[in-house]
Structure 1
Amino acid sequence: MSEILPTVFECLTASELKQRLRLPLIAAPMFKVSSPELVTAVCRAGAIGAFPSINARTPALFDAWMARLGEALSEALPDGSRPAPPAVNLLTHDSNPRFEPDFEIVRKWRAPVVITSVGKPEIVIDAVHGYGGLVFADVVSLHHARRAARSGVDGMVLLCAGAGGQTGRLNPMAFVEAVRQFYDGILIVAGGITRGYQLRAIELMGADVAYCGTRFIVTPESSAPEEHKAAIIGAEIDDVWDSDAMSGIPASMLRSSLEKLGLTPETRWLQEKRDKYDWSAVKETPGVFSLGHGAGDVAKEEAAASIIARMTDEYRQAAAR
């Protein structure tokens, strides 16, 4: 493993992390969308900016991205406070050949928050906890949540109905209530969230933080192509299909792009020629745009800081009522 660098990013405890945030929000890690510029803008606005390590085309580029983020987020904000920490999303499934080199870079830079997807979170926990970082795990069912709790994760991302990209099919109110019966760590709700008063609602439900993804696709800081941004601006909730056919697990995609692949309402839940998750199927299929149920609330491109400022006002108004 590469030499461990002196601490660049600030590692926080779970309680310290929640206190650091101006808004209980994570800009979701989105494949081919989340960029260092987006992460920086979100963190400096007071929320957690997250990105998949595989968005960097090579491990060397991922290493360079971490260096850029370390420099950009080391500067204090105008009021003297520190930016929120960034989060790195690791695909821990066997089908991802980048896991080992990317995890080495995570450890090298001591990424303060690591979010695991698809695979087992326990393969990163000892190392991340060893340098003081936090581990959050994506879960889509009570079975996954119980397994994550046993592994010792610091938080769970509950992928609920309406989440963009990899999604779940459970109602968020029921899912939060069920998980809270046995878990007292950080709960993050993902699925169709675009407004600050919705963040207050998830707190009242018993969760702590929310993912917001689709809204941040249509920002100048995102890496999404203009076709993807235009598709979201023109989409409504009925234009979002969840399908197993892309990778073998549910994912929310633009209906028209899935129809171009020959999928219909009857066939979009069928797994074609695969019996388990296959990340390469997602990676190698062009022209299929991901989005969540919040697409209908996105009418124009807007800077990430502006989105967070508006959501902060909405959140505070809701909290004061």
Structure 2
Amino acid sequence: MLPPILQGLRIPVIASPMFIVSGPDLVIAQCKAGIVGSFPALNAREKDGEPPLLDAWLTRIEEELDRHNQSHPDHPAAPFAVNQIVHRSNARLERDIEICHRHKVAIWITSLGARVEVNQAAHDCGGIALHDVINNGFAKKAIEKGADGLIAVAAGAGGHAGPQSPFALIQEIRDWWDGPLLLSGSIATGRAVLAAQVMGADLAYIGSPFIATTEAQADPAYKQMIVDSGAMDIVASSLFTGVSGNYLAPSIRRAGLDPEALAAADARAMNFGDGSSKPKAWSTIWGAGQGIGAVREVEPAGARIDRLAAEYVAAKEAVSRL
């Protein structure tokens, strides 16, 4: 059974935290529309000498969702989540954990390494910790270190996607784990959300479609490239961060590179010291998952979620007639 915080969502979806793209405007819109919104803590970057922007972001999100809930008691907002990058190069991790603990963040999403102390911090303030994994081995390590749930990042997902089919990944994890399980990888329609559940996941984890929303903190050209592109335009490469990720081929060409002849890079190149794992030279190489063919316009996040919800209901009705 899902923990209470993940029950009662409009549709079983958590919006994945995306570097640069996810901020308070997008998170608030996602939560008001009935799905869990999220953002990476590292997206909140203040200038030197200024107070932590993460603190201000959390305060704003909490206050706006509280106002919404008071005005809409019959349709309260979904909770929100904060993503912690636990990679050893993240010098802000300890500070960001303290801030999230003080705000009693209810859902913590951890990436790039399972850490006992991060899970303990989440539990200590009454929250749950969900850890993203790309294979069954990492899944077992995450649970051993105290994670409450798993996010299976399968082939086709945006960002640092895993290489495995969602069928194989979910099957292997479900063989031993009956707790909360999310699936990430090319999920962009309500039908795909239902398919993830039928496959064995509890919830879908959706990112790339929300790049092309009015609330996203993305370059307008990035949003339009999502609209104009499809699965054939996604290229996997380790060149830009040292770890294989999925990127938009048009953005690679615009940077003067051939997406079909990219060199490999060492994982030691990954460094989150400045908030991103990508060197500044690659700042306009844009990531996305293979599901973007379903995105046909830039629109408000609420409208996109309305469509997902309608598609999800229609898919359930269609399945019931089989």
TM exceeds 0.5? yes
> How many residues are paired up?
307
For residue 271 of structure 2, what is the amino acid of its counterpart? D
**Residues 288-299 of structure 1: matches in 2 within 5 Å?**
288-299=285-296
Q: Note the C-alpha offset of 1:123.
A: 2.6
State how 1:1-321 maps to structure 2 within 5 Å.
14-58=2-46, 60-75=52-67, 76=69, 78-259=72-253, 260=255, 262=257, 264-268=259-263, 270-271=264-265, 275=268, 277-279=270-272, 280-282=276-278, 284=280, 285-320=282-317, 321=320
1:287 deviates by: 1.1
Change (3 A) 1:262 1:281: farther
Q: Secondary structure at the match of 1:198?
A: helix
Q: Secondary structure at the match of 1:107?
A: helix
In 2: Cα distance, 1:198 partner to 1:17 partner: 23
Share of identical aligned residues, percent? 35
- Larger mean Cα displacement after TM superposition, 257-266 or 156-165: 257-266
Alignment partners' CA distance in 2, 1:108 and 1:185: 27
Query: CA-to-partner distance for each residue in 1:219-258, whole Å, 9 max, x for gaps?
Result: 1111001111111111121110111111121211111333
Tell me, in whole angstroms, the C-alpha distance in 1 between the residues paired with 2:66 and 2:259: 49
Gaps of 5+ in 1: 1-12
Query: If the length of structure 2 is used for normalisation, what is the TM-score?
Result: 0.90
- Specify every segment of 5 or more residues in structure 2 that has no aligned partner in the other structure, as ranges: none
Worse-matched range after superposition: 74-83 or 56-65: 74-83
Return 274-283 or 145-154, whichever deviates more.
Answer: 274-283
CA distance in 1: counterparts of 2:136 and 2:7, whole angstroms:
28
CA distance in 1, matches of 2:73, 2:103: 26
Amino acid at match of 1:189: L
**Separation (CA, whole Å) in 2 of partners of 1:281 and 1:129:** 28
1:261 and 1:188 map into 2 onto residues whose CA distance is: 37
User: Secondary structure, in 3 states, of the residue corresponding to 2:278?
Assistant: helix
Q: What is the one-letter code of the residue matched to 1:293?
A: Q
What TM-score, normalized by structure 1, do the two folds share?
0.90
Distance 1:168 1:201, change over 3 A: same
